[in-house]
Amino acid sequence: MTTSALPDLLTDVLKKEPIPKETIGYLVARTKLRLHDFILRQLATAEDSQKLDQAKIARRLGVSRAQISQQLGVPGNWTVASVTKLAAAMGGEIEFQWRPFSEEKPEAFGGPSPDEFSGLRPEEKDAA
């Protein structure tokens, strides 16, 4: 099979001084995307358990529903303040975990189970 293990930018960080500027930009994007995933996951849970919806979040934060929809769309402009507000409107706050770059991201590290995906996972489907 033709696969491409793309360069590992995280171990690269451990080797280079100073850390390249473009790598910092990549790491910032990763963090924002993980926060985005986290907030969307909590929102899905809160919609089920608390009957929360975007309109209610908007009312709690005193902004329009369209603004909430726009904020939830992409995390490019997210700041600590905007994430904190979204979390507060859902009734919680975010806690953190430390993971050294040298350790692989475990399956259970704040993400969904692979079982939640119904799409092709070639290795598994071939083995089945």
Q: Give me the residues that bind another protein (CB under 8 A), please.
A: 1-11, 21-23, 25-26, 29-30, 33-34, 36-37, 40-41, 44, 54, 69-70, 72-74, 76-77, 104-105, 107, 111-112, 114, 116-122, 125-126
Minimum separation from the CB atom of position 84 to another protein (A): 19
Q: Tell which residue, 42, 32, 87, 96, has the closest CA to residue 61.
A: 87
Question: Toward another protein, which CB reaches closer, 31 or 84?
Answer: 31
Encode burial over 94-126: b for 16+ CB neighbours within 10 A, e otherwise.
Answer: eeeeeeeeeeeeeeeeeeeeeeeeeeeeeeeee
The CA-to-CA distance between both ends of the chain, in Å, stands at 18
Question: Toward another protein, which CB reaches closer, 38 or 61?
Answer: 38
91: left (phi over 0), alpha (psi -120 to 50) or beta: left
What is the C-alpha to C-alpha distance for residues 44 and 51, in angstroms, rounded to an integer? 10
Minimum separation from the CB atom of position 40 to another protein (A): 4
Question: Toward another protein, which CB reaches closer, 8 or 84?
Answer: 8
Minimum separation from the CB atom of position 42 to another protein (A): 10
Minimum separation from the CB atom of position 68 to another protein (A): 10
